[in-house]
Structure 1
Amino acid sequence: MPDDVVIDARIPAELDEALSRLASARRKSKSALVREALAEFVLSEEAFAAAVEEGLADARAGRLVDHDEVMREIRQLLHKKR
């Protein structure tokens, strides 16, 4: 990556030890594993934030589903799985 930056983070010793074991087992550097994990975390958090915003926009626009209706649908789905 041409525009890499270095960050510092304090982590518990146990986490560092586990990361070292994983890096060794996967034959990757700890930095590579941290980069992969952080990239996945950021994508997940961005998707979550977008979903929350979409839900809030629906609520503001009055697009809501009554709790009782949701529970009915859940019960129907659970009943079908039996």
Structure 2
Amino acid sequence: MAASTTVTVRMSGTLKERLGLLAEKTQRTQSFLAERAISGYVDRELEMMAAVEQGLEDFRNGDVVSHDEAKRQIRETIAKYES
């Protein structure tokens, strides 16, 4: 198991109550649920930032398609799945 550390988080009373209710219903600790929620958020945000950085790099390298070409590709993809 990885070493853990403590972080203090400020939240509204309502959110704390909801977290407590979820902990009760899932028989998990509030700490466990908070860690899972923060981990998921951080993973998604880092993934999004990497995608934006990749898009900017593609743009700088001229690896782009026109708006009309992008729309055409999207329409083709949708049509494949509508059949």
Corresponding position of 2:77: 77
Tell me the C-alpha RMSD between the 2 structures.
Answer: 1.6
Corresponding position of 2:31: 31
Corresponding pairs, count? 82
* Residue 70 of structure 1: how far off its partner (Å): 0.9
* Residue 2 of structure 1: how far off its partner (Å): 5.7
Corresponding position of 1:21: 21
Give the TM-score normalised by structure 2. Answer: 0.85
Q: Percent identity?
A: 35
Structure 1 runs (4+) deviating above 6 angstroms are none
* Residue 45 of structure 1: how far off its partner (Å): 1.1
- In structure 1, what is the Cα distance between the partners aligned to 2:39 and 2:77? 35
Quick check: 1:59 aligned with 2:55? no
Give the TM-score normalised by structure 1. Answer: 0.86
Corresponding position of 2:48: 48
* Residue 5 of structure 1: how far off its partner (Å): 2.0
